[in-house]
Amino acid sequence: MRERIAEALDRLSPAERKVAELVAADPHAAMGATVASLAKAAGVSEPTVVRFCRSLGLDGFAELRLSLARAEGGAPAAPRPLRRIGPGTPLPEAPAAVFDAAIAALSGARDALDPAVMERAALALVRSSRVEIWGYGASAAVAGDLAHKLFRVCRSVVARSDPQMQAMAAATLDGDAVALCLSRSGLSRGIVEAAGLAAAAGATVVAITRPASPLAAAATLVIPCEVEEDGGLHAPMVSRLVHLVLGDALAVAAALLSPPAAEERLARMQAALRPRPRDG
């Protein structure tokens, strides 16, 4: 692995070289690191760590850890096993088990993120003249939350949970619009069909959903959200939380790409909410 890194040094950026030198100097520490901790130790951004991995021909940070483990004859630190929650789960253990499930799901979503896709999606939102956000069931609540966040930086943002309204809205979109589709499974027929209509109309379709699903196939850009849930009475709905955080990440990225006028727009919104003195 050290030889592979040495061969890649000439084509790495200065920031990626910092990561390379850190990994080569202490492979065992890198095996037990996270993207965030390795980026902090190298003094670079998290996307730089991901780009370094891809410069080595790896899919991402998880594959880097596995490659280091094979090369060094060790193994990455095993994650703490998740406790399944069922009818017999002792009540004092249940809250911690819910937190563990949420942390594991968020960690997996973070590792699956492609910064380039997130940037393209955020740029499409900032440039759009109209943003439609669609979701059913638990995703409908997330769609409403995301609409509230994006309303501050995007124009004409609306969230819809009715399949017929989604279909009619999709038919009226154009190349300047973005349809943001939320679905854990990516199988909901109505939202898949609406995404297809939006794409056919020329809109950019961004899907936060399971990769390799029908919705992902219909989308222009896919932000992966692959969370296993058994749907049982006692199972926590961690996919909803992952959708919320991915929506936060997308909204932050859009805000970072927004022109200075967005700050003035937000200031006007905040001023409109301040109490006014009563007349007379």
Q: What is the pLDDT along the chain (280 residues), one digit of tens a residue?
A: 788 888 888 889 999 999 999 999 988 888 878 888 899 999 999 889 989 988 888 877 878 887 887 776 554 444 455 667 778 888 888 888 888 888 888 888 888 888 889 999 999 999 999 999 999 988 999 999 999 999 888 889 999 999 999 999 999 999 999 999 999 999 999 999 999 999 999 999 999 999 889 999 999 999 998 887 766 777 778 888 999 999 999 999 999 998 777 777 777 777 887 887 765 5
Domains of the chain, each with CATH number or no CATH: 2-72 (1.10.10.10), 109-267 (3.40.50.10490)
Instruction: Give burial (CB, 10 Å; 0-12/13-18/19+) of 14.
Output: exposed
Alpha helices per DSSP H over the chain: 2-8, 14-25, 27-31, 35-42, 46-55, 61-72, 94-112, 115-127, 137-150, 163-171, 189-200, 214-218, 238-257, 261-273
List the structure tokens of 103. 């942390």
Q: CA angle, 13 as apex, 7 and 16 as ends, to 5°?
A: 80
Please state whether the predicted TM-score (pTM) of the whole model is above 0.85: no
Give the DSSP letter of residue 156. S
CA distances from 5 to 37, 52, 61 (A): 20, 10, 14
In terms of Cα–Cα distance, which of 135, 119, 132, 66 is closest to 249? Answer: 119
Cα dihedral across residues 181, 186, 191, 195: positive or negative: positive
Write the CB contacts of 158 (distance below 8 Å, at least 6 apart in sequence). 131, 132, 133, 147, 169
Give the DSSP letter of residue 192. H
CB neighbourhood size of 41 (10 A):
17
